[in-house]
Structure 1
Amino acid sequence: MSVDGWNTVLVLGGTRSGKSEFAESLVGDAPTVRYVATSADADPDDTEWAARLAAHRERRPGSWTTEETAGDPRRLADVIASAGPNETLLVDDLGGWVTVLLDPAHQPADDVATIAELAAAVRASEARIVLVSPEVGLSLVPTTPLGRAFTDALGAANRAVADACDAVVLVVAGQPAWLKPAVTPRAAGVPAQAGPARHDVTAAAAPAEAPLPDVLTPTAPAAPAAPAETNGTAWAAPTMALPMVATGLVIQPGMELPMPDEYAGPQAVDRLATLDVAGAGFGELERVVGFAAATQGTATPTPWANVRVLLLHGDHQGGAAAGTVPGESSRRARQARAGRGALARLAAENGASLQVVDTPSSAPMEQEPALAGAAVESALRYGWRLAEEAADAGVQLLVLGACGAGTEAAAAAVLAATAGAEAPAVLGRVITASGEIDDAAWMTRCAAVRDALHRTRRSPRDAKDVLAELGGGDIAVATGVLLGATARRLPVMLDGPVGVAAGMISRDLAGQARHWCVLADHGGHPAVRLAADVLGLTPLLNLRLDLGEGANALTALPLLRSVLALAAALPAHPRLGGGDPDSEEPDFAEPEPAGPGPTTVEPDGTEPDFTEPDFSEPEPAGPGPTTTEPDPSGWRAG
């Protein structure tokens, strides 16, 4: 059954925000309502809390029935699953349900599984359901372990249920703000104050709704007429629920995105020590096995079969682009689209798809903001959509690269704003097309970063402010890619200054993003080395490759794939319980003679004595000490 566009709705709100009254108004037109109370009985001595519960009961019409699930938190999912298509349920609230779930009387319990069961029941239900829950994500982090456990569990429950519901509304000071879906529902018979609030953030949002660029399948030079098809398994999980407004996704600081499996990585590394190899092991490349295991959630990770390269193309104007040849970045982008150049050739050799993404051009940062605030929002959402499209296509690894004039200076400015770096320390030397060093251009870039930082010295240093003032379009899109990939549990291989600058920005939006990133090689870039150190990303290799962003990573990819394939295929050493089906351990026991053989004869004509020798202690040849007990006088002989 669908009522006014929704079956299920989650009503969020802070303490005393009016969320319960609003939820009750949503079901006010129903002939009968089953009210599901989740909280445990109040302390008899807590009269104030008892009065609150009594006020709740008095508001309920006589036609409503009440059902309590405080005795067993798992029963809530059963109640929802058993509700018929003509029933209306009001669950108030998930905060009380989580309190009961964490109660020691119900432990040990798999809280994650219980929350997943609840979300699955809500998603599959045909009944009309309204769930109420406190929003604790806007408050301070509790100072006690129990408080933090409650906040974490309730946040996980809210996200899971919000993802399962058709609609989500946040009530603030009695005013509802609809977060999901984009087209807000209308509840019949709801008072005027209960209607959804409209959000208008459509200004300059065209890039977010623009069609995504085509995905290319470069062909190997030996067979240009046979496109290499890429087949992969869809590993990525559905996107975690995040606030939505009329124009789409809202990316904001403090987002709770998933983390890699904290157990699978160490288990995979420990397993490497047991494999049947002739040498000492995988050395530094153990880290790629641990990373792949954590992001795949298994101690035996498999090689990345479906890889996509995102090449972000966007120029920076002003002094940041000093020393670059005009139109060179556009030539590189056209070259990649045509399947030519180092990046396309390496993509073909690795069987990787290639997507060239045009990003907004960035204004001279030393004179004005590099990007307008509304364009930053659009660029972030655009990058998120690129990652989601890749996950939906079964991509197992994203390689993030960029080609654009002034990207090194923009990344240096971001590092200066987020990590306190000095521009001369993180800006690499400028190399001309003929291989010469252009120190004048390098000084111009340093001056551009210095002037931009001076211009913004009183500006906020929040993530979006840094993108608007200094980062520009390509770094903003790259940041959105990292966040979207994190939400879909999709690992990203960074390559070059743009990717690590986006990693620095993403820390303030979702700190989990850096744990889904891996760095193949720093390429000799000082900015990459510094950002990698801040982000905790140790390069897997130290080849100082500088073939262009994206091409460095693809050069190292076959080696990394080989390590993963070997780690997944090798058995444990036979001495550690493994076996080799192709061979058997040789038996080194002395074989029994097949028949009578020659008899050994000693020189004196007697047969040798093969009995075990007697190793008993020989008798002393002369008189010795009569006792071995300590001398009672305390002196030792000699």
Structure 2
Amino acid sequence: MSVDGWNTLLVLGGIRSGKSEFAESLVADAPTVRYVATAPEGDPEDTEWAARLAVHRARRPGSWTSEETAADPGRLAAVIAAAGPNDTLLVDDLGGWVTVLLDPAHQPADDTATIAELAAAVRASAARLVLVSPEVGLSLVPTTPLGRAFVDALGATNRAVADACDAVVLVVAGQPTRLKPAEAALPTVLAQAGSGPAGTPPAAPAATTAATMAAAAAPATGGAAEAEAEATLPEVFTPAAPPAPAADPATAGAAWAAPTMALPMVATGLIIQPGMELPMPDDYAGPQAVDRLATLDLPGAGLGVLERVVGFAAATQGTTVPAPWASVRVLLLHGDHAGGASAGATPGGSARRARQARAGKGPLARLAAENGASLQVVEAPASAAIEDGPALTLDQVESALRYGWRLAEQAADAGVQLLVLAACGAGTETAAAAVLAATAGAEPPAVLGRVVTEHGEIDDAAWMVRCAAVRDALHRTRRAPREAKDILAELGGGDVAVATGVLLGATARRIPVLLDGPVGVAAGMVSRDLAGQARHWCLLPDHGGQPAVRLAADVLGLTPLVDLRLDLGEGATALATLPLLRSALALAANLPVHPSLGGEEDDEEFTEPEPAGPGPTSTEPDFTEPEPAGPGPTSTEPDFTGPTPAGSGPTGTGGDFTEPEPAGPGPTTTGPDQPVFPGPRAD
């Protein structure tokens, strides 16, 4: 657990609760930390206390500096007040500080005034400040006067400091729980669209604007620290499949709403920077799962290229028998790019696509409905013209990265097993081409796909404008750093930055991601410098014939599985291939071992056929066995008249049966008085 939106934070917890370790983890990524130790040395003969202090000292990195305040309780407030905006302080702990405060050597003293002075220093602190304190309010009232004085003073200190801090966390048995500020609630997650008949689209959620995201990421400056504003994550819904033409509305499934989820928390203190150590898939489970396929009762050559899907799922799930992904979420990033990057795009076309997806319409929503996947439309920050200046500020990049991380956290907390990354902004292909040109050294015309209008026509003039925009942007930034965040700020823009945060957050939570389109692969290229593990959690179903995706796939080591060349927008190809991927995993998980390798014959339900012979007769109850060859009986039908023809076989016994014509040239019966075989008269 981590905490979002804080500058000063109080960590409470009981003895051996893990409060100190949690507090240390919050500042572990800071370049420098001033560790303020408040506890006195204690009795020199108390070896157990000395061992505790030694353990605390051993956990501190070598880059930290330590400062002792045990000699003077009033000095702690002075140290906090003197810290600047670029300082990070960890105070451990206030229990030791109160012990020194109540020491007879510092009496008489105004303890209440000293506690108020400390709280005022915390409230006015411009530094990033974490304080640790024991929570004694849950224990019994001490039986000694000195014990009661200690818990009273510490309780008053905790209350005053908690009121002054931006955030308060209680650690119980190693499990942190946020007490302040209260956890925000996410919009209700819908399993069916709408609340009326099946197929009714849900109401469009309020869009999360770039301004809101920027406000959430703006660092506190000046005197008193202000908590960062929470950026509301967009609504998640599952598009409903359109009803069948003959479906009865009375029997259609009614919509239902799942319980409201608590907002997943990502620490503002989390520093997304190059060299992050994130989890890797299981190196052994993937190859073992592929080897296991050779033992299954599969006809022919087996699964072919889909063996890679089995290996990927096994590695990301950490098992040799991976299960098909049951819970899938599509993240549709909508963020337009200004300037020449969007040349040839229809004004307002991307916004219409985003509204269409929210309403449960369009190819992406329909495919999501067919796959039972939830859909989340995400508003990314709009990007400025890259030929004129940076697409985003560095603060906006930081905000977008954390926002994308939070989207992945939300999906993980909801039990999502697979993410599909898609985008629908104007100019996204141009931004992806610029990122590839900066990270892989590609020439813009080689990675920028043709511009196709909404009427299916190729617009070469718009393609040239886009190439010129990328060329000018690369020339403008020719001396700029090529670090990941610099590339996102100068060239990538909001959607690529949010997508990069999604990949990093999904990697941290061990969620595989299906990439589909230029934005996803561009984010994969940028994420290499932040966490090289991210690309190992990505699967590319198809390159779509796009040169940018082809190049990025080659650099990232992602081999496309199919070559459908669908052009229905990002994410559509991934959803179209998802049933095929699930089928491969279902076969791998459920087929038995081949009998030649020790598997059992599955023939319990097999029925031995009858031996060859004249063949069984029909068991139909209305069938009458024909009489043997002979003169043959006449029809038993009361309304039938006339003689029967010579030969064998019965006449029909049904009311609608008509006697067939006899074979041969002879005449049929014409009446009761006519001879059966007339011939020439003899003289």
- Relative to structure 1, the CA distance from residue 476 to residue 280 in structure 2 (aligned partners, 3 Å threshold; closer, same or farther) is same
Deviation at 1:61, TM superposition (A): 3.5
Report the counterpart of residue 42 of structure 2 in structure 1: 61
Return the alpha-carbon distance in structure 1 between the equivalents of residues 359 and 548 of structure 2.
31
Matched, 1:272 2:272: no
Report the counterpart of residue 59 of structure 2 in structure 1: 133
Q: 1:331 aligns with which of 343, 352, 358?
A: 352
Deviation at 1:579, TM superposition (A): 1.7
Matched, 1:90 2:52: yes
- Relative to structure 1, the CA distance from residue 284 to residue 460 in structure 2 (aligned partners, 3 Å threshold; closer, same or farther) is same
Contact 1:274 1:572 (8 Å CA) reproduced: yes
Report the counterpart of residue 366 of structure 1 in structure 2: 387
Deviation at 1:26, TM superposition (A): 3.9
- Relative to structure 1, the CA distance from residue 131 to residue 540 in structure 2 (aligned partners, 3 Å threshold; closer, same or farther) is farther
Q: 1:303 aligns with which of 311, 324, 328?
A: 324
- Relative to structure 1, the CA distance from residue 22 to residue 411 in structure 2 (aligned partners, 3 Å threshold; closer, same or farther) is closer
Deviation at 1:135, TM superposition (A): 3.6
- Relative to structure 1, the CA distance from residue 380 to residue 279 in structure 2 (aligned partners, 3 Å threshold; closer, same or farther) is same
Instruction: Write the letter of the residue equivalent to 1:61.
Output: G
Contact 1:321 1:445 (8 Å CA) reproduced: yes
Return the alpha-carbon distance in structure 2 between the equivalents of residues 368 and 486 of structure 1.
32
Matched, 1:189 2:97: yes
Deviation at 1:422, TM superposition (A): 0.6
Report the counterpart of residue 216 of structure 2 in structure 1: 206
- Relative to structure 1, the CA distance from residue 381 to residue 90 in structure 2 (aligned partners, 3 Å threshold; closer, same or farther) is same
**Alignment of structure 1 residues 178-577 onto 2, 5 Å:** 178=89, 189=97, 198-199=127-128, 204-206=214-216, 209-222=230-243, 226=253, 244=267, 247-577=268-598
Deviations 1:266-301 (A, max 9, x none): 000000011101111111110000000000000000
Deviations 1:226-263 (A, max 9, x none): 468899xx9xxx99xx9x4xx45321111100001111
Deviation at 1:373, TM superposition (A): 0.9
Matched length: 449
Q: Which SS does the other structure have where 1:254 is aligned?
A: coil
Q: Which SS does the other structure have where 1:189 is aligned?
A: helix
Structure 2 unaligned residues grouped into runs of 5+: 1-8, 65-82, 101-117, 130-211, 218-228, 609-683
Instruction: Write the letter of the residue equivalent to 1:198.
Output: A
Return the alpha-carbon distance in structure 2 between the equivalents of residues 222 and 203 of structure 1.
38
Deviation at 1:565, TM superposition (A): 0.4
Deviation at 1:92, TM superposition (A): 3.5
- Relative to structure 1, the CA distance from residue 277 to residue 319 in structure 2 (aligned partners, 3 Å threshold; closer, same or farther) is same
- Relative to structure 1, the CA distance from residue 409 to residue 229 in structure 2 (aligned partners, 3 Å threshold; closer, same or farther) is farther
Q: Which SS does the other structure have where 1:209 is aligned?
A: coil
Instruction: Write the letter of the residue equivalent to 2:458.
Output: I
- Relative to structure 1, the CA distance from residue 578 to residue 197 in structure 2 (aligned partners, 3 Å threshold; closer, same or farther) is farther
Q: Which SS does the other structure have where 2:20 is aligned?
A: strand
Matched, 1:177 2:139: no
TM-score w.r.t. length of structure 2: 0.60
Return the alpha-carbon distance in structure 2 between the equivalents of residues 89 and 289 of structure 1.
51
Deviation at 1:555, TM superposition (A): 0.2
Contact 2:236 2:374 (8 Å CA) reproduced: yes
- Relative to structure 1, the CA distance from residue 61 to residue 88 in structure 2 (aligned partners, 3 Å threshold; closer, same or farther) is closer
Contact 2:437 2:444 (8 Å CA) reproduced: yes
Return the alpha-carbon distance in structure 1 between the equivalents of residues 338 and 579 of structure 2.
36
Deviation at 1:578, TM superposition (A): 1.6
Contact 2:87 2:128 (8 Å CA) reproduced: no
Return the alpha-carbon distance in structure 2 between the equivalents of residues 350 and 564 of structure 1.
15
Return the alpha-carbon distance in structure 2 between the equivalents of residues 482 and 339 of structure 1.
25
Larger mean CA deviation between 219-228 and 451-460 belongs to 219-228
Deviations 1:523-572 (A, max 9, x none): 11100010011011111112222211011100000000000001000011
Deviations 1:470-491 (A, max 9, x none): 0000000000000000000011
Instruction: Write the letter of the residue equivalent to 2:304.
Output: G
Q: Which SS does the other structure have where 1:364 is aligned?
A: coil
Contact 2:328 2:417 (8 Å CA) reproduced: yes
Contact 1:474 1:498 (8 Å CA) reproduced: yes
Q: Which SS does the other structure have where 1:308 is aligned?
A: strand
Return the alpha-carbon distance in structure 1 between the equivalents of residues 303 and 439 of structure 2.
35
Return the alpha-carbon distance in structure 2 between the equivalents of residues 4 and 501 of structure 1.
39
Deviation at 1:335, TM superposition (A): 0.3
Contact 2:451 2:462 (8 Å CA) reproduced: yes
Return the alpha-carbon distance in structure 2 between the equivalents of residues 91 and 273 of structure 1.
57
Matched, 1:9 2:20: yes
Contact 2:35 2:89 (8 Å CA) reproduced: no
Percent identity reads 68
Deviation at 1:513, TM superposition (A): 0.5
- Relative to structure 1, the CA distance from residue 137 to residue 518 in structure 2 (aligned partners, 3 Å threshold; closer, same or farther) is farther
Return the alpha-carbon distance in structure 2 between the equivalents of residues 555 and 545 of structure 1.
9
- Relative to structure 1, the CA distance from residue 559 to residue 585 in structure 2 (aligned partners, 3 Å threshold; closer, same or farther) is same
- Relative to structure 1, the CA distance from residue 534 to residue 511 in structure 2 (aligned partners, 3 Å threshold; closer, same or farther) is same
- Relative to structure 1, the CA distance from residue 137 to residue 309 in structure 2 (aligned partners, 3 Å threshold; closer, same or farther) is farther
Return the alpha-carbon distance in structure 1 between the equivalents of residues 602 and 95 of structure 2.
66
Structure 1 unaligned residues grouped into runs of 5+: 29-59, 68-86, 94-129, 139-171, 588-638
- Relative to structure 1, the CA distance from residue 18 to residue 374 in structure 2 (aligned partners, 3 Å threshold; closer, same or farther) is closer
Return the alpha-carbon distance in structure 1 between the equivalents of residues 506 and 63 of structure 2.
22
Instruction: Write the letter of the residue equivalent to 2:43.
Output: G
Deviation at 1:65, TM superposition (A): 3.1
Return the alpha-carbon distance in structure 1 between the equivalents of residues 394 and 544 of structure 2.
32
Matched, 1:27 2:39: yes
Instruction: Write the letter of the residue equivalent to 1:5.
Output: L
Report the counterpart of residue 75 of structure 1 in structure 2: none
- Relative to structure 1, the CA distance from residue 396 to residue 4 in structure 2 (aligned partners, 3 Å threshold; closer, same or farther) is closer
Deviations 1:80-130 (A, max 9, x none): xxxxxxx9973635xxxxxxxxxxxxxxxxxxxxxxxxxxxxxxxxxxxx4
Contact 2:38 2:94 (8 Å CA) reproduced: no
Deviation at 1:430, TM superposition (A): 0.7
Higher Cα radius of gyration:
2
Return the alpha-carbon distance in structure 1 between the equivalents of residues 570 and 417 of structure 2.
19
Return the alpha-carbon distance in structure 2 between the equivalents of residues 487 and 443 of structure 1.
40
